[in-house]
Amino acid sequence: MFSTCRKQQTATSSMIDSARRISSLVGLIVLAAIGGCSRQPTPAPEEPWISEGQVLRAESQAGGIDTSYAAYFDEDQLTRIIEKRRTPRASQAEYKFTGARLIAYRGDAITAEQSDVDLSFDMKGAVTHVSKNVDAQEIAAIRNRAQLLRSLALARRSTMQHSESAARGPASASGANP
C-alpha cells in the first residue's frame, strides 16, 4: 500500500517539476518578447505625437494625405515644419515661417508631379523667388497646406501645454509656491 502511494507521489512530483520547467520556459519567452517590444522607437497609437523640447513630432491625416511632421519652435514661435507625406511617390517638404507668415517652401509639389519646388515669399505674401515653372494653383496648394500643418502643430502644442499645466495643479500653473 505504501509503495503504491509512493509511486503516485513520485509521479505527481515529476509532473509538477515538468510543469514548473515549462512555466519557467514560457516566462522567459514572454520576458524576451516584452523586452524586445519595449525598445521600439515609435510612439503608442493612443498618443501619436512626441514632444522633444522645442520639437513637436506628429502623425496626421492632414487634408486627406497621410503625413508625419516635425514642427520646430523658438520660444513660442513656430519657425519651420518638416513634413513627410506617405503617398505613392513618398514626397517631403520644408516650410519656414516668420510669425504666422509662410516665408519659404522647399520640397515636392503637392498637386503636380514635379519635385524640387523652391519658393520664397515676402512678409506680405507675394512670391519673391520661384525655382521652376510653378503655376498659381500649386502655389495656392502649398500655402493652404502650410497653414493646415501650422494650425495642427500649434493646436497640438497648445493642448500639450494645457495638459502639462493641469497636471501640475492650480498653484503651479499660477506660479504660486505651495
For residue 148, report the phi and psi dihedrals to the nearest 5 degrees.
-65, -50
Query: What is the mean predicted confidence (pLDDT) over 117-137?
Result: 92
The set of cell numbers assigned to 64 is 486627406
DSSP one-letter code for 52: E
User: Strand ranges (DSSP E) for 99-138?
Assistant: 101-107, 117-121, 127-130
**Tens digits of per-residue pLDDT, 69-124?**
999 998 889 999 999 998 877 789 999 999 899 999 999 998 877 778 999 999 99
Whether the per-residue pLDDT at 18 is higher than 90: the answer is no
Which pTM value belongs to this model?
0.64
Whether the per-residue pLDDT at 150 is higher than 90: the answer is yes
CA-based torsion, 31, 37, 40, 44: positive or negative = negative
What is the layout of strands, in order, in the sheet containing 117-121?
50-52, 55-62, 65-74, 77-85, 92-98, 101-107, 117-121, 127-130
More confident site: 26 or 135? 135
